[in-house]
Amino acid sequence: MDFNMKKLASDAGTFFTRAVQFTEEKLGGAERTELDAHFENLMTRADSTKNWTEKIMRQTEVVLQPNPTARVEEFVYEKLEKKGPARQRTVELLGQYMTDAGNDFGAGTPYGGALIKVGESQKLLGLAEKEFVQASTINFLTPLRNFLEGDYKAMAKERKLLQHKRLDLDASKTRLRKAKAAEARASGEQEVRVAQAEFDRQAEITRLLLEGISTTHANHLRCLNEFVEAQMTYYAQCYQYMVDLQKQMGSFPTTFLPNSSAPLPPVTVPIPAAPPGASELTAAELQPASGTRRARVLYDYDAGDSSELSLLADEMITVYSVPGLGSDWLMSERGIQKGKVPVAYLELLK
């Protein structure tokens, strides 16, 4: 392999000169060319944009994928430019467990049927979450990552070149100040003019790139709007799914009480004492005193005496009030059977 020894020696000399100039500046033994205030503000703004973009991007990744192991795995597949394995969201996995449990308990049972309904809704929530993650990754995370890995790296590269050109310029100025002979001074002045021209040209290139931060902010604002819209759509879908689920759950006993936000009654409900003389109601008193209503039985109930009617959970009966029963009891009919039943065991339907 051939080596250009002159170029190698020149590069080594340049590196040594820059190192000496930088060290003397740090020790206060050499002057340095300062950039104007506008240029310094541009660099500060670029650094601030880079730092905050990194933090926002990293935390957005945590929001979209809370599992750190999964994030690392996705990062590796992304760097390898390969598609990772399909991964269920946690809410989808919960929905699958609920659905499987409901089928095992029996879809025809109240609990099994309710589990299946809730599981299906959890799966819908998982699909909505996937759509939100996909939209946020494409419209928000990707532009942020492109800025950090593209535009900002280009800025950092040009700023590093500008630093080298400044060190070369200041080193040539130092040599000019130390020159005594006329020939050395003339050579030094020519060297300073060349270094100044290179520095000015590099400063202009760097300044143009740094001024592009304003365009970057405008692009990131558009991406932020798209992220908010995706999040709004996601939460609206989740809300609608849960409203629909709540309506469906109303058809299952012991789940929701109509027009009430009070806690659900315990499984063992105390049976109200029968009013005096209730077992001796006359045939006239057993006729409906007000309009009849349909009711769903919430729990099994064993009749205490011949004036009461035994009930099975989930069955439908007709109920109405009669004089003398009080507010805790209703008269019920099931086919040709009649008898009083406690209100606490019923869900009155409209």
pLDDT in tens, 159-195: 999 999 999 898 888 888 888 888 888 988 999 999 9
What pLDDT is recorded for position 10?
62
pLDDT-based confidence at residue 229 (cuts at 50, 70, 90): very high
**What mean pLDDT do residues 225-237 have?**
95
10-24, 38-52, 91-105: least confident range:
10-24
Average pLDDT of 55-70? 89
Per-residue pLDDT for 266 more than 60?
Answer: no
- For residue 228, what pLDDT band results from cuts at 50, 70 and 90? very high
Percent of the chain scoring above 70 in pLDDT: 80
User: How many angstroms separate the first and last alpha carbons of the chain?
Assistant: 94
Look at residue 286 and tell me whether its pLDDT is greater than 60: no
Beta strands in 88-198 (DSSP E): none
Task: Decide which of 223 and 23 is more confident.
Answer: 223
Overall CATH class of domain 13-249: mainly alpha
In the prediction, which pLDDT does 293 show?
87
State how far the Cα of 87 lies from the Cα of 43, in Å rounded to an integer.
42
Instruction: Report residue 227's pLDDT band, with 50, 70 and 90 as the boundaries.
Output: very high
Number of residues that this document lists for the chain:
350
* Residue 50: count of CB within 10 angstroms of its CB: 19
Calculate what percentage of the chain has a pLDDT beyond 90.
45
6 band by pLDDT with thresholds 50, 70 and 90: low
pTM of the model: 0.63
- Phi (first) and psi of residue 342, to 5 degrees: -75, 140
Q: How far is CA 220 from CA 136, 143, 213, in A?
A: 13, 7, 10
Average confidence (pLDDT) over 26-38: 80
For residue 139, what is the DSSP state? I
Tell me the pLDDT tens digit for each residue of 291-307: 788 899 898 888 888 88
Residue 130's pLDDT is 92
- Spatial strand order of the sheet with 337-342 comes to 337-342, 329-334, 316-320, 293-297, 346-348
Q: Is the pLDDT of residue 265 over 60?
A: no
Domain residue spans of the chain? 13-249, 278-348
CATH architecture of 278-348: Roll (2.30)
